[in-house]
Amino acid sequence: MNRERAERQLALVAEALTAVREHGIPLWLRGGWAMDFFLGEVTRDHGDIDWFARAGDAVRLTGVLTRLGHAPVPGPPADLQLDFVKDGLDSSFTLVDRDAAGRVVVAGGPWAGTPWPDGLLGAEPGRIGALEAPIVSPAAQIEIKRMMPVWDPSRPRRAKDAGDIARLEAALRRR
């Protein structure tokens, strides 16, 4: 495992959380970092830092991040996801919204309005050392990793996803 890269990514997580809290912008870690914060330790290398953010906060979030030195990177539709790079490290912010029933849904792109798993944003914060971060619920994380190849056949399940599912399920059984 590349510990130096993990430490740099953790520093970016801390920096982003501190900055957005000052502006009342909630964020939730998703993906591998959400799993690691749930487990309380870094379990593997991470290619990037994945987040969920509210679509209504996208403009303010972009402003906060660019003031911190994050550069926007072209990618998915801007109403679906915002991508940034800072110091060679990538961060992606998938945007969510709520539908009329109050469910968390995909904010934009071809799946706009599609509900995310129930309880997605309802988890207790996770922690690695002294750093606490809001995370997606482990059950929702498992469902997303299991269903991604079904929802989007162009994205087959990766070996790291199978490993993440196994780690999360084992941790949930112990609790």
Give the CATH number for residue 54.
3.30.460.40
pTM: 0.94
8-47 pLDDT, tens per residue? Answer: 999 999 999 999 999 999 999 999 999 999 999 999 999 9
Residue range 70-111, pLDDT digits in tens: 999 998 888 999 999 999 999 999 999 999 999 999 999 988
Lowest mean pLDDT among 20-24, 123-127, 155-159, 166-170: 155-159
Q: How many CB atoms lie within 10 A of CB 167?
A: 19
**Which pLDDT score, from 0 to 100, does residue 95 have?**
97
157 in a structural domain:
no
* pLDDT above 80 (res 149): no
Position 174 in a domain: no
The amino acid that residue 108 corresponds to is: G
Residue 156 confidence class, pLDDT cut points 50, 70, 90: confident
Q: How many CA atoms lie within 13 A of 112 on its CB side?
A: 11
pLDDT of residue 154: 79
DSSP labels for 31-53?
A: HHHHHHHHHTS--S--SEEEEEE
Instruction: Give domain status of residue 101, yes or no.
Output: yes
79 in a domain, yes or no?
A: yes
Number of structural domains found in the chain? 1
Whether 150 maps to a domain, the answer reads: no
Identify whether 152 is part of a domain: no
Query: Is residue 124 a part of any domain in this protein?
Result: yes
Residue with the larger pLDDT of the pair 17 and 154: 17
- Note whether residue 43 is domain-resident: yes
Residue 76 is part of which domain span? 3-137
Q: What is the band of 152 on the pLDDT scale with cuts at 50, 70, 90?
A: confident
Q: Give the Cα separation of 150 and 104 in Å (integer).
A: 20
Residue 174 has what pLDDT?
Answer: 92
- How do residues 103-140 score in pLDDT, each as one tens digit? 999 999 988 999 999 999 999 999 999 999 999 999 99
Tokens of 104: 């968390």
